[in-house]
């Protein structure tokens, strides 16, 4: 993962990427470097950040910035850098039923997914404006901003991000700052560390029109598009869905069916798609509304 010199679409720009130690954040940092950007990679896990990013020679690595954006601002000032790109990728989920969530857990998820990124955005946008620079901010949201995931803490924080993007786009647009979101679908962000077995992969792919899981690189390419002042110069307040067509399906229903399918006994040799279609057709016949 080496840089692409000064000839790329993001040549000479300074970009800040949060949650950059792995997955979408790491892929985004790498691709920005390849397109000529000077990237500040941010992650609370400093050791993992250094290990994963050390082959990206253009990276200036800053870690453990999750708690106080002022630390990152101070580091940027030390480097003499003013960012023109901010990718708010960091996010967590408690993945517990609502009745098992307590207020502290919900607050931690919201602080990490929404409040922290908003605070960082405010600080870095002020730097852009003070330096009379135009900029681009991208928040990584989720398809679950508009659909049930059975993870109230996560889904509601992502829904708030989607609305925050629209508000920020309206307010910051006149100042030359574009703000957009990317909403990934079913993304397998760590194939090496967390492989998907063939049966599980087949079940998950059955409900995706493009017939494959998304990758971190798929999402990173969408982020690069939204931070490119040529390709997306007239785009702000948008939520770019990158899901292989998953949102065109009845995926709120099929999500539970596909996971139930992974527990189906092997004697049922009907293709999963056929069984899925039969169940959906039966449901539609019983509920014509």
Residue 72 confidence (pLDDT) = 86
Cα–Cα distance for residue pair 36/13, rounded to 1 Å:
8
Query: Which among 154, 155, 216, 232 is annotated as catalytic?
Result: 154
Catalytic (active site) residue 154:
yes
Q: Give long-range contacts, CB 8 A cutoff, 24+ apart: 59-63.
A: 59/29, 59/33
The answer to whether 202 and 134 are in contact (CB under 8 A) is no
The per-residue pLDDT for 64 is 54
Reduce the DSSP state of residue 85 to 3 states and report it. strand
Joined together, the tokens standing for residue 99 give 């009745």
Range(s) within the chain of domains with CATH label 3.40.50.720: 14-199+210-246
How far is the C-alpha of 65 from the C-alpha of 73, rounded, in Å? Answer: 10
How high is the pLDDT of residue 234? 98
Active site residue 142: yes
Note the pLDDT of residue 146. Answer: 75
pLDDT at 43: 87
Tens-level pLDDT at each residue, the chain (289 residues) = 444 445 689 999 999 999 998 899 999 999 999 999 999 998 887 778 877 777 776 676 665 555 578 888 888 888 788 999 999 999 988 888 888 889 999 999 999 999 999 999 999 999 999 999 999 999 999 987 777 667 788 999 999 999 999 999 999 999 999 999 999 988 876 665 556 666 777 877 888 999 999 999 999 999 999 999 999 999 999 999 999 999 888 765 445 444 444 444 344 445 545 555 555 555 455 555 4
Structure tokens at 208: 């995706």
Per-residue confidence (pLDDT) for residue 191, from 0 to 100: 63
Q: What are phi and psi of 135, to 5 degrees?
A: -150, 170
What is the rounded distance in angstroms from the CA atom of residue 269 to the CA atom of residue 41?
48
Residue 4, pLDDT score:
40
Q: Would you state the pLDDT for residue 271?
A: 52
Instruction: Give whole-number Cα distances, 132 to 16, 69, 126, 127, 163, in Å.
Output: 18, 21, 10, 9, 26
Q: Could you tell me the sign of the dihedral formed by the alpha carbons of 282, 284, 288, 289, in that order?
A: positive
Q: Which of the residues 142, 157, 183, 189 is marked catalytic?
A: 142
Closest by alpha carbon to 16, among 82, 83, 67? Answer: 83
- Among residues 30, 145, 158, 189, which one is catalytic? 158
Q: Which CATH superfamily is domain 14-199+210-246 in?
A: NAD(P)-binding Rossmann-like Domain (3.40.50.720)
147-177 burial, b for 16+ CB within 10 Å, e for fewer?
Answer: eebebbbbbbbbbbbbebbbebbeebeeeeb
Residue 149 confidence (pLDDT): 65
């Amino acid at each position: 993962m080496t840089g692409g010199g000064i000839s790329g679409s993001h040549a000479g720009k300074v970009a800040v990427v949060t949650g950059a130690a792995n997955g979408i954040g790491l892929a985004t940092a790498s691709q920005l470097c390849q397109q000529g950007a000077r990237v500040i990679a941010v992650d609370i896990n400093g050791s993992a950040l250094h290990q994963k990013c050390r082959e990206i020679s253009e990276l200036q690595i800053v870690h453990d910035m999750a708690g106080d954006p002022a630390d990152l601002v101070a580091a940027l000032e030390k480097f003499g850098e003013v960012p023109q790109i901010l990718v708010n990728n960091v996010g967590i989920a408690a993945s517990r039923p609502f009745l098992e969530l307590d207020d502290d857990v919900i607050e931690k998820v919201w602080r990490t997914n929404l409040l922290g990124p908003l605070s960082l955005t405010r600080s870095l946008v002020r730097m852009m404006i003070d330096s009379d620079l135009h900029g681009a901010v991208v928040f990584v949201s989720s398809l679950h901003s508009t659909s049930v995931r059975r993870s109230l803490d996560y889904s509601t924080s992502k829904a708030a991000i989607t609305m925050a993007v629209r508000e920020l786009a309206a307010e910051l647009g006149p100042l030359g700052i574009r703000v957009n979101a990317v909403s990934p679908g079913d993304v397998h962000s760590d194939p090496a560390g967390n492989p998907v077995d063939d049966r599980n992969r087949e079940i998950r792919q059955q409900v995706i029109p493009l017939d494959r899981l998304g990758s971190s690189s798929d999402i990173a390419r969408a982020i690069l598009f939204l931070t490119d002042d040529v390709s997306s110069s007239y785009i702000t307040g948008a939520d770019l869905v990158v899901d292989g067509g998953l949102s065109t399906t009845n995926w709120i229903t099929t999500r539970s069916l596909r996971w139930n399918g992974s527990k189906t006994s092997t004697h049922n040799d009907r293709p999963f798609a056929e069984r899925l279609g039969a169940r959906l057709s039966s449901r539609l016949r019983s509920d014509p509304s």
